[in-house]
Chain A
Amino acid sequence: MNPPKILLLHAHPHPRKSKLNMRLLKAVADLDHVTVKRLYELYPDFQIDVEKEQQALQVHDLIIFQHPMYWYSAPALLKEWQDSVLEHGFSYGEAGTALTGKHFLSVVTAGSEKTSYDPIGRNRFTTEQLLAPFEQTAGLCNMLWQAPRILYGGFKISKETLDQHCASYREYLQNYTLEME
């Protein structure tokens, strides 16, 4: 069976400053079945080519949002991408079935430790809770929400941990299958 086709939408406004996210991207970008779209490189002035983005969505099976956690959400361009690409009649609403049955995965990097994302921690909410808007967006588009992959502790992460995380991310996408366990 052919591997599923993966569309990786990467949103990072300052790639030169990125320690984690760009490493993660490099770890998987060369995979044959992965298409990478770096949104801030494609649309630095926020004028998204809606038609092209919709076409890309249609020919892929797994859609990934990969981004740093900025103010408990994604960088602004990814929101703009959702606002303009996920149109009524395309991805939701009566005739909006273009994304039905596709898989959706959030890949997020965060600065703080996992312990801070907790009702008693500094950030007061778990990442799963904070990602609820994405989960529901996928849901409204009839996509299947996958368990998000989150890399915590970016401020103090060790080289080994980062390497390890990259390797496991690559392996995850390499072996990704659409069959439900």
Chain B
Amino acid sequence: MEEHSLLLSVFIYLLAAVVAVPVAKKLGLGAVLGYLLAGILIGPWVLKLITETTHVLHFAEFGVVMLLFLIGLELNPSKLWEMRRPIIGQGGSQVLISTMAIAGVALLLGLRWEYALVAGMALALSSTAIVLQIMDEKNLMPTPTGQSGFSILLFQDIAVIPMLAILPLLSVTGSGSEAGGVLGVIKALTALVLIYLIGRYLLPPIFRYIAATRMREVFTAFTLLLVVGVAALMDAVGLSMALGTFMVGVLLSESKYRHELEANIEPFKGLLLGLFFISVGMTVNFGLLFDNPLLIIGLVVSLIAIKALILYLVSVKGKLPSAARLRFAILLSQGGEFAFVILSQATAVAAIDTHSAEILTVVVALSMMTTPLLMLVVERYCTPATIDSEKPVMDIPNEQNEVIIAGFGRVGQIIARMIGARNIGTTILDHNSAHIERISKFGFKAYYGDATRMDLLETAGIADAKILVIALDDNDQAVELAREAKRLYPHLKILSRSWDVAHAIELMKVGVEMPQRETMYSSLKLAEEVLTNLGYGAFEARQVTAKFERHDLEILHGIYDAETLEDRISIGRDLRGKFEAQMKSDAEYREQAEPDWS
């Protein structure tokens, strides 16, 4: 098919993402697989909507670049320093052993040793984009699995530098084998020093200057400029673009503009990462696959088997909880985007032959697709309860608590702080990684994960708890959780925040006696303050408020008791009218009354 205009291509990509991702999520396949499938679908082998794929892949690599920038922002230098042991230990052994093992297999298959080594290096690396996206989806970042996985990915990103540097030395034609390697290393080091100096000394004043203009889009533009510029610099000297932006991210992690930077890059990252997965799906050369099906499938299977085995051993050494090891091994078992880079570079300097490189590219792309699927299998196979009981990184006292709070957002935090201040044992469940720091600061027992999952609640000790407080900001999840908890633990007292009247009624129907509407009391308080500022005595204002509150509750219960939806609406309207009239006449009576003797 002919190439389309840019606009039409963009339309196709967006449409594919919008259609495929929600469907994949609904089927429980996860967003990554959704994008990959969308890519295959619109690519040159199925619908042929897009035929030019390599340029898009290169462009979409920016998604990975931005992802690493964001991760860098989250990691300040001291945190990074704390992680040096797993990075070097686990990362180093994974890369080294996997490279050797894969190169060994390649030798056995009859490749020259130079080619075999290139293959080993290219395939030893895992996909940062896929792994981090899956970890994010499953909230694994704060767990030991997440920490180990991230350490290894980081080491791999760094390992790409020497790998690319020695490619010319492996050239079988000898064409690139002069001083190019050494020169390359010098150029690379210069670039890294340059980035450090810029991040350290040049950026802070520039950010101040730009922030002072108070123009949001200029700030966004500068953030993008920074990321793109650093990536271009790294690309020019043959380094991993992602590593460069990661460095800048780390350097800016203590800047006060951190959150603004994050907010600016986040949407670009999401879209580009999606595009990246789509283009991986598109680049799979099905022609090659149909010509050598057994060879390629065999290679994919052995690649995953070898990498997973080595990762499993690394996880044993790294003291990962035994229940989490298999999942960890599978998580990083695929080939990564750096393989594409290494293979194309190696082809260019004749460190590998074109045919092998093409086959390996297909193997890598296919292996990337297996991860989301294998993860599904692993999670079915390992009972979720054991795997999610994987404790967060911080130490948590292991006692049975009377109170469980689901959700540690704005509402949950206030509840937990007050209950905690009374020394009442409290367990908190939340799946937002942004809340983690706060949970540890208050010293609560915490479980990360989807609070609506009963197995997680069981691990958290719901069977022995007296009270479950639902402070989730997702209305449907709150109802679902209340229903399930009430069904399985009838003794449990369930208290819940609710969004509005309709949500409160839904909660009441599933057994929450008295849901608290989240805006109710602050609004009443403000109304009360209006009265006092108009000259009402504080006590009288309080009385009026309390009366209104009682009426409002009666309306709520009246609506709840009504049989049908139409009944609800008319009963609600009638009661509201009645009470408001009553309060008005009450007020008029009071206003007209003479001051009394007192």
Chain A residues engaging chain B, CB cutoff 8 angstroms: 12-21, 40-42, 44-45, 68, 70, 77, 109-111, 154-155, 157
Question: B593 to chain A: which residues have CB within 8 Å?
Answer: 17
For the complex of A and B, 6 pairs with smallest distance between CB atoms: A154-B597, A68-B598, A111-B597, A44-B538, A44-B542, A19-B595
By the criterion CB–CB under 8 Å, are B540 and A14 in contact?
yes
The 14 listed contacts between A and B (C-beta, < 8 Å) are A13-B537, A13-B540, A14-B537, A14-B539, A16-B535, A16-B540, A18-B596, A19-B595, A19-B597, A40-B539, A42-B538, A44-B541, A77-B539, A111-B598
> Distance in Å from the Cβ of A110 to the closest Cβ of chain B?
8
> Distance in Å from the Cβ of A137 to the closest Cβ of chain B?
22
By the criterion CB–CB under 8 Å, are B597 and A155 in contact?
yes
Chain B residues engaging chain A, CB cutoff 8 angstroms: 535-542, 593, 595-598
Question: A14 to chain B: which residues have CB within 8 Å?
Answer: 537, 539-540, 598
> Distance in Å from the Cβ of B593 to the closest Cβ of chain A?
7
Question: B596 to chain A: which residues have CB within 8 Å?
Answer: 17-19, 111, 154
> Distance in Å from the Cβ of B525 to the closest Cβ of chain A?
11
Question: B539 to chain A: which residues have CB within 8 Å?
Answer: 13-14, 40-41, 44, 77
> Distance in Å from the Cβ of B527 to the closest Cβ of chain A?
14
Question: B541 to chain A: which residues have CB within 8 Å?
Answer: 44
By the criterion CB–CB under 8 Å, are B597 and A15 in contact?
no
In-complex Cβ contact of B537 among A40, A68, A109 (8 A): A40
> Distance in Å from the Cβ of B492 to the closest Cβ of chain A?
30
By the criterion CB–CB under 8 Å, are B595 and A18 in contact?
yes
By the criterion CB–CB under 8 Å, are B598 and A109 in contact?
yes
Most buried by A among B538, B595, B597: B597
Most buried by A among B535, B537, B538, B598: B598
Once bound together, how far apart are the Cα atoms of A111 and B537, in whole Å?
A: 21
Sample of 4 more A-B contacts, CB < 8 Å, known A17-B596, A44-B538, A111-B597: A16-B536, A19-B598, A44-B539, A111-B596
By the criterion CB–CB under 8 Å, are B538 and A18 in contact?
no
> Distance in Å from the Cβ of A156 to the closest Cβ of chain B?
9
Question: B537 to chain A: which residues have CB within 8 Å?
Answer: 12-16, 40-41, 44
> Distance in Å from the Cβ of A97 to the closest Cβ of chain B?
32
Once bound together, how far apart are the Cα atoms of A20 and B598, in whole Å?
A: 6
Once bound together, how far apart are the Cα atoms of A44 and B537, in whole Å?
A: 9
> Distance in Å from the Cβ of B586 to the closest Cβ of chain A?
14
By the criterion CB–CB under 8 Å, are B598 and A41 in contact?
no
Once bound together, how far apart are the Cα atoms of A79 and B596, in whole Å?
A: 22
Once bound together, how far apart are the Cα atoms of A17 and B598, in whole Å?
A: 8
From known contacts A16-B535, A17-B593, infer whether A154 and B540 are also in contact, taking CB-CB under 8 Å: no
Once bound together, how far apart are the Cα atoms of A41 and B529, in whole Å?
A: 12
Most buried by B among A16, A77, A154, A157: A16
> Distance in Å from the Cβ of A150 to the closest Cβ of chain B?
13
> Distance in Å from the Cβ of B471 to the closest Cβ of chain A?
24
By the criterion CB–CB under 8 Å, are B538 and A21 in contact?
no
Question: B535 to chain A: which residues have CB within 8 Å?
Answer: 16
> Distance in Å from the Cβ of A114 to the closest Cβ of chain B?
14
Once bound together, how far apart are the Cα atoms of A91 and B597, in whole Å?
A: 34
> Distance in Å from the Cβ of B529 to the closest Cβ of chain A?
11
> Distance in Å from the Cβ of A173 to the closest Cβ of chain B?
21
Closest partner residue, chain B, to A68 (CB atom): B598
Closest partner residue, chain B, to A77 (CB atom): B539
Most buried by B among A17, A19, A109, A110: A17
Closest partner residue, chain B, to A16 (CB atom): B537
Question: A12 to chain B: which residues have CB within 8 Å?
Answer: 537, 598
Question: B595 to chain A: which residues have CB within 8 Å?
Answer: 16-19
> Distance in Å from the Cβ of B536 to the closest Cβ of chain A?
7
Once bound together, how far apart are the Cα atoms of A21 and B542, in whole Å?
A: 21
Once bound together, how far apart are the Cα atoms of A177 and B596, in whole Å?
A: 34
Question: A110 to chain B: which residues have CB within 8 Å?
Answer: 597
Question: A157 to chain B: which residues have CB within 8 Å?
Answer: 597
> Distance in Å from the Cβ of B484 to the closest Cβ of chain A?
37
> Distance in Å from the Cβ of A61 to the closest Cβ of chain B?
28
Once bound together, how far apart are the Cα atoms of A40 and B543, in whole Å?
A: 12
Closest partner residue, chain A, to B595 (CB atom): A19
Question: A111 to chain B: which residues have CB within 8 Å?
Answer: 596-598
Once bound together, how far apart are the Cα atoms of A85 and B45, in whole Å?
A: 83
Question: B538 to chain A: which residues have CB within 8 Å?
Answer: 40-42, 44
